[in-house]
Amino acid sequence: MKKITSKLTRVAGKVLLPCLLGLAIPASAEECNEKTMDAFAYEDCLAEQRAAKGNSEQAPDAGKQIYSPFQRDAYLTSSFGENRGTRYHAGLDYSTNMEEGWVVYAPEDGNVTEIRTSPFGYGKVMFFKGASGKTWVFAHQSSFGRLDEQVIKKQYASKKNDVTLKPNTAYKKGDTLTFAGSSGIGNPHLHLEVRLDNDRIVNPCKEGVMCLDTIAPQVFGVAVWQGNEFATTNATAFNKGCAVTPVKNEFGLYMAVKIADYSREPKDNPMSIRRIELWRYDEKIYSKIQDTLSFKKMLNIRDELLWAEEADTAGDWHYINAKLAPLSTYRLEIEDFAGNVTTKKFTLHPKCKGNEPLQQTKVQTSPVYTFLSRPMLDLFRCRSGYKFKALGAKDEEISEDLCSVFKHRATLLAKIVETYPELRAIQYSASAEATGSGKAVDETIAVFPYGKYQKSINWNSKIGDVGFSQKISGIPVAIDTAIRVLAVTRTRTDSLDYLEFHPKGLQFFGNWNVCIENPANPAPLYWLGETSRDWFIFSKQTGGKKRCASVNELRDIANINNEEGPTLGFPYWSDAFINGLSQPVLKIPVMFRYDGVADGNAITVKAGKKWIAAEYDSEPREIILYGEDLPESGENITIQIVDEAKHKVSYDVTIPGM
């Protein structure tokens, strides 16, 4: 990997901003022309103009000095307040063009109060307390610069790879502080936070941090509902000023808007937005500005960013907490963290020209799924030959053909319960030809309706021979009087069977305690990562035939019997940053199907009896060993790994030649 310096005026084909080099932009500077400039030149031109105006179009207060972490051009790849499942993104992510080692400079005079190492989360993270009283957090670092020696010293003294230090080392504004990298989760980038205390986090763009973002937010879709009547509008129709209402001329409509913000071309890494406001004529009826966050209130995200089964596609669904009247004209204003504003005027109509159905799922096998934190039933499958029956509490048949009762489209499960209050299960079946997978299906969806004021749930049921129970606490009172529903079904795949729990993103502030009794497979419980599609073992669960676990969100769950520990790939020499310099390291791939390592201390490396410090990179799953700590080529080291399922494996590795 090449070492990066801050003295170049052109890096990776990109011109540094003149304001960062202390230069003035001439009044006769060329105007930015998207038609005559290539994409990169156009984006750079816009960025230079923004910097020349003191970055006045972004969120920082006028007159504040702009802080660039790298003292060079770096675009945002993630913004403050992004949806991260059960929490908001607490800072900004900056692209480093897939390179490690970019120098990060001190934002003000201050002291490094703490540094930590970990293969997950923030990775190598530094906490810097400035003279202003603010704490600056720099995560995913490759090197702590001159503090690396203290880290290595503590690792060898404690014989632990993951360590925490409180060096209290002083730095002056502009000093080389640390070096960006890819430790923890993600590709090379810098995660930056500004904290006021242990709970309050502020938008860095409001604190004078440069936020390069040249593209205004985009609207990808709109949903409007009243009770269990539901309608969606695509971007094409909404851009023409029309949003579909599911009921005609009735008051009390609710709305959610799917929004994404990109920083530059080519569009990648959709981000969240700073401000969203809705006006009815000249009256502001809703406003949300995301400039502060609280760690204690992170679960509020479930009320404001509604979960959908296509959650890993571009954009978040923002709930507009205001009742809409049908015969009105509305103006939607959306602002990103650089001050770019998108404005949309619209009215509500039963139909909109150019409207098409929105994508509501991405990776979904069963016909029940979650959309906007509500369980849905995909009755569009009726057209391909699926059959749906409604069953009561004693498995009595209520309706032999839901396809003939409801239109062949995605339908709120609560809408079906509204029609059949005694509904407790839906049996669905399809031939191999109808499923398109080469396999026929005959399965059940268990259904549990609950009321507006119900604050806790205790539900026991069975699907086939698999019993399940779930207790949910801390459920808030619903915003409307619509029926609310839980649903569970079983999905069968070539590799394993698992239970799907809906709706994902359910709004509650307690715990979800779930138990599975699976006579055919009493193996440990694993949960499915919705975006990664990887399975992860519950670190805490009961044993025996009845397996129980507790989390703060609904997950898909499987019983998985995995007896295989991790294995190692072929070692190879590479480079990494140590003490701020590129130095040789030995990298050894780690391979596993289900159970990885819980932390860096789950890996022990020895040369004979000598303990050797190791770094585990969770992406792309590699053990990293500093070259100067290793024996000569041809000699052996021993690597022991204890995975999350407590399997212990040990391997002898021969040091290859450079």
List, for residues 362-414, the tens digit of each pLDDT value. Answer: 888 999 999 999 999 999 999 999 999 999 999 999 999 999 999 888 999 99
Would you say residue 21 has pLDDT above 90? no
Q: Which residue has the higher pLDDT, 18 or 356?
A: 356
Would you say residue 62 has pLDDT above 70? no
CA trace torsion 408, 413, 414, 420 (10° rounding): 70
Would you say residue 28 has pLDDT above 70? no
Q: How far apart are CA 232 and CA 639, in angstroms?
A: 55
Which secondary structure element, helix H or strand E, spans residue 292, and what is its range?
Answer: strand 292-294
Q: How far apart are CA 172 and CA 26, in angstroms?
A: 32
Strand partners, 488: 446, 501
Within 13 Å of residue 406, how many CA atoms lie on the same side as its CB? 30
**pLDDT at residue 239, rounded to an integer:** 97
Q: How far apart are CA 53 and CA 24, in angstroms?
A: 11
Per the CB < 8 A criterion, the answer to whether 217 and 273 are in contact is: yes
Q: Which residue has the higher pLDDT, 41 or 398?
A: 398
**What DSSP letter does each residue of 321-389 carry, written as one string?**
EEEEPSS-EEEEEEE-TTS-EEEEEEEEES--TT--PPP-BSS--SSEEEETTEEEEEGGGGGGT-EEE
Per the CB < 8 A criterion, the answer to whether 443 and 428 are in contact is: yes
Computed on alpha carbons and rounded to an integer, the radius of gyration of the chain in Å comes to: 27
Structure tokens at 66: 């702009």
DSSP 432: H
Which secondary structure element, helix H or strand E, spans residue 426, and what is its range?
Answer: strand 425-430
**pLDDT at residue 47, rounded to an integer:** 52
Structure tokens at 429: 């079946």
Q: How far apart are CA 369 and CA 412, in angstroms?
A: 10
Mean pLDDT along residues 69-76: 92
Position 453 confidence tier, pLDDT thresholds 50, 70, 90: confident
Total residue length of the chain: 658
Q: Which of 49-58, 112-121, 438-447, 550-559 has the lowest mean pLDDT?
A: 49-58
Structure tokens at 91: 């800072």
Residue 22 burial (CB count, 10 A): 6
Q: Distances in Å between the alpha carbon of 307 and those of 216, 344, 365, 453, 503?
A: 23, 23, 18, 22, 8
**pLDDT at residue 23, rounded to an integer:** 29
Per the CB < 8 A criterion, the answer to whether 277 and 382 are in contact is: no
Q: Which of 128-132, 287-291, 301-305, 634-638 has the lowest mean pLDDT?
A: 301-305
Would you say residue 568 has pLDDT above 70? yes
User: Residues 50-60: pLDDT tens digits?
Assistant: 444 434 344 44
Q: Which domains does the chain have, with CATH numbers?
A: 10-207 (2.70.70.10), 218-349 (2.60.40), 368-559 (2.60.220), 567-654 (2.60.40)
User: Residues 196-252: pLDDT tens digits?
Assistant: 999 999 999 999 999 999 999 999 999 999 999 999 999 999 999 999 999 988 889
**pLDDT at residue 10, rounded to an integer:** 30
Per the CB < 8 A criterion, the answer to whether 134 and 192 are in contact is: no
Per the CB < 8 A criterion, the answer to whether 515 and 468 are in contact is: yes
Strand partners, 388: 428
User: Residues 471-495: pLDDT tens digits?
Assistant: 999 999 877 778 899 999 999 988 8
Q: How far apart are CA 592 and CA 27, in angstroms?
A: 59
Phi then psi for residue 151, to 5 deg, are: -65, -50
Q: Which residue bears the tokens 């959908």?
A: 308
Structure tokens at 81: 């307040």
Would you say residue 63 has pLDDT above 90? no
Structure tokens at 154: 């503590």
C-alpha closest to that of 290 among 128, 133, 91: 91
Would you say residue 26 has pLDDT above 70? no
Q: How far apart are CA 94 and CA 189, in angstroms?
A: 6
Catalogue the E-assigned strands of 117-214: 125-130, 135-139, 141-143, 164-165, 169-171, 176-180, 189-195, 200-202
Residue 293 burial (CB count, 10 A): 24
Position 85 confidence tier, pLDDT thresholds 50, 70, 90: confident
Q: Which residue has the higher pLDDT, 478 or 349?
A: 349
Q: How far apart are CA 120 and CA 94, in angstroms?
A: 18
Catalogue the E-assigned strands of 14-151: 14-15, 76-78, 92-95, 103-105, 110-116, 125-130, 135-139, 141-143
Q: What is the mean pLDDT of the chain?
A: 89
**Cα angle value 607/608/613 (rounded, 5°):** 35
**pLDDT at residue 249, rounded to an integer:** 86
Mean pLDDT along residues 452-477: 94
DSSP 212: B
C-alpha closest to that of 203 among 139, 274, 272: 274
Would you say residue 82 has pLDDT above 50? yes
Per the CB < 8 A criterion, the answer to whether 630 and 546 are in contact is: no
Position 261 confidence tier, pLDDT thresholds 50, 70, 90: very high
- State how far Cα 556 lies from the chain centre: 17
User: Residues 612-648: pLDDT tens digits?
Assistant: 999 999 888 999 999 999 999 999 999 999 999 999 9
Q: Which of 48-57, 343-352, 500-509 has the lowest mean pLDDT?
A: 48-57
C-alpha closest to that of 431 among 378, 389, 384, 494: 384
Strands of the sheet containing 512-517, edge to edge, are 456-463, 466-473, 512-517, 546-551
Mean pLDDT along residues 20-44: 48
Q: How far apart are CA 237 and CA 297, in angstroms?
A: 36
CA trace torsion 321, 325, 330, 332 (10° rounding): 10
User: Residues 581-622: pLDDT tens digits?
Assistant: 999 999 999 999 999 999 999 999 999 999 999 999 988 899
**pLDDT at residue 37, rounded to an integer:** 60
User: Residues 508-555: pLDDT tens digits?
Assistant: 999 999 999 999 999 999 999 888 889 999 999 999 889 999 999 999
C-alpha closest to that of 142 among 177, 93, 194, 110: 177
Would you say residue 437 has pLDDT above 70? yes
Question: 345-348 — which CB contacts under 8 Å span 24+ positions?
Answer: 345/241, 346/238, 346/241, 346/242, 346/243, 347/241, 347/242, 347/243, 348/224, 348/243, 348/244, 348/245, 348/253, 348/324
Would you say residue 17 has pLDDT above 80? no
- State how far Cα 140 lies from the chain centre: 16
C-alpha closest to that of 555 among 536, 571, 578: 536
Q: Which residue has the higher pLDDT, 242 or 3?
A: 242
Position 294 confidence tier, pLDDT thresholds 50, 70, 90: very high
CA trace torsion 19, 24, 28, 32 (10° rounding): 0
Q: What is this structure's pTM?
A: 0.87
**pLDDT at residue 73, rounded to an integer:** 87
User: Residues 129-179: pLDDT tens digits?
Assistant: 999 999 999 999 999 999 999 999 999 999 999 999 999 999 999 999 999
**pLDDT at residue 451, rounded to an integer:** 87
**pLDDT at residue 64, rounded to an integer:** 59
